[in-house]
Chain A
Amino acid sequence: MAIFVYAESHDGKYKKAGLEAVSYAKATADVAGDTVTAIVFGNATADELYKYGASKVVKVDNAALAKFDANSYAKALAEVAQGDVVVLPSTNEGATIAPVLAYKTGASLVTNVEKSPTAVSPFTVARKAFSGKGVETVAVSGKVVVTVLQNAFGAKENAVSGSEESASVSVSDADAKVKVVSTEMASSDKIDLKEADIVVSAGRGMKGPENWGMIEDLAKVLGAATASSKPVADIGWRPHAEHVGQTGKAIAPNLYIAVGISGAIQHLAGVNGSKTIVVINNDPEAPFFKAADYGIVGDAFEIVPKLTEELKKYKGQA
Chain B
Amino acid sequence: MKILVCISSVPDTTAKINFTADGKSFDKNGVQFVINPHDEFSLNKAVELQEKQGATVTILTVGDATVDPVMRKALAIGANDGIRIDADARDDFFVATQIAKAAKDGGFDLVLTGKESIDYNGGSVPGLVAAMLDYGFVNGCIGLDVEGSSAKAVREIDGGKETVEVTLPAVIAGQKGLVDEAALRIPNMRGIMQARTKQIAVVAPEATETKVEVVGYVKPAERGNVTLIDKDNVAELVRLLHEEAKVI
Contact = CB atoms under 8 A, between A and B. Distances in A.
Contact of A180 (B164, B214, B240): B164
A211 to B, nearest CB: 18
A102 B128 contact: yes
Given A266-B13, A294-B237, A294-B241, A111 B158 contact: no
A184 B100 CA distance: 32
B217 A135 contact: yes
Given A133-B17, A184-B161, A198-B247, A140 B211 contact: yes
A279 B217 contact: no
Contacts of B37: 246-247
B183 interface: no
B60 to A, nearest CB: 18
A279 to B, nearest CB: 7
The size class of the interface chain B forms with chain A is 35 or more
B229 A294 contact: yes
B216 interface: yes
Contacts of A192: 158-159
A111 B123 contact: yes
B211 A222 contact: no
B226 A293 contact: yes
B218 A278 contact: no
B21 interface: no
A111 B228 contact: no
Given A95-B123, A129-B121, A178 B137 contact: yes
Contacts of A310: 234-235, 237-238
B207 interface: no
Contacts of A234: 181
Interface stretch (A33-41, A49-57, A300-308): A300-308
A178 B165 contact: yes
Residue from B14, B159, B217 with most neighbouring chain A CB atoms (10 Å): B159
B82 interface: no
B139 A295 contact: no
A307 B230 CA distance: 12
B136 interface: yes
Interface in B182-203: none
A98 B127 contact: yes
A123 B13 CA distance: 30
Interface in A173-201: 177-186, 192, 194, 197-198
Interface stretch (A21-29, A79-87, A155-163, A284-292): A284-292
Interface string A110-143: 1110000000001010011111111111111110
B163 A181 contact: yes
B33 interface: no
Contacts of B231: 296-299, 302-303
A108 B211 CA distance: 7
Interface string A245-276: 01110000011000000000110010010011
B156 interface: yes
Contacts of B147: none
A179 B238 CA distance: 49
B131 interface: yes
Contacts of A246: 13, 37, 118
Given A132-B220, A255-B247, A255-B248, A279 B226 contact: yes
A281 to B, nearest CB: 11
A30 interface: no
Contacts of A206: none
B241 A255 contact: yes
A96 to B, nearest CB: 4
Given A95-B123, A134-B17, A179-B166, A70 B226 contact: no
Contacts of B240: 294
Contacts of A248: 176
A100 interface: yes
A223 to B, nearest CB: 10
B206 interface: no
B163 to A, nearest CB: 4
Residue from B125, B152, B157, B216 with most neighbouring chain A CB atoms (10 Å): B157
The 8 A-B pairs with the shortest beta carbon distances in the complex, nearest first, are A99-B127, A298-B231, A103-B131, A177-B136, A185-B160, A247-B176, A255-B247, A133-B17
Interface of A: 15, 68, 70-71, 74, 91-93, 95-96, 98-100, 102-104, 108-112, 122, 124, 127-142, 177-186, 192, 194, 197-198, 222, 234, 240, 243, 246-248, 254-255, 265-266, 269, 272, 275-279, 289-299, 302-303, 306-307, 310-311, 313-314
Given A95-B123, A95-B139, A109-B122, 10 more contacts: A99-B130, A104-B131, A131-B13, A134-B17, A180-B164, A247-B175, A255-B245, A276-B241, A289-B228, A294-B226
20 contacts: A71-B136, A99-B128, A110-B212, A127-B121, A129-B217, A130-B11, A130-B120, A134-B218, A137-B216, A138-B214, A142-B211, A184-B161, A184-B163, A255-B248, A276-B241, A292-B226, A293-B223, A296-B231, A296-B237, A299-B231
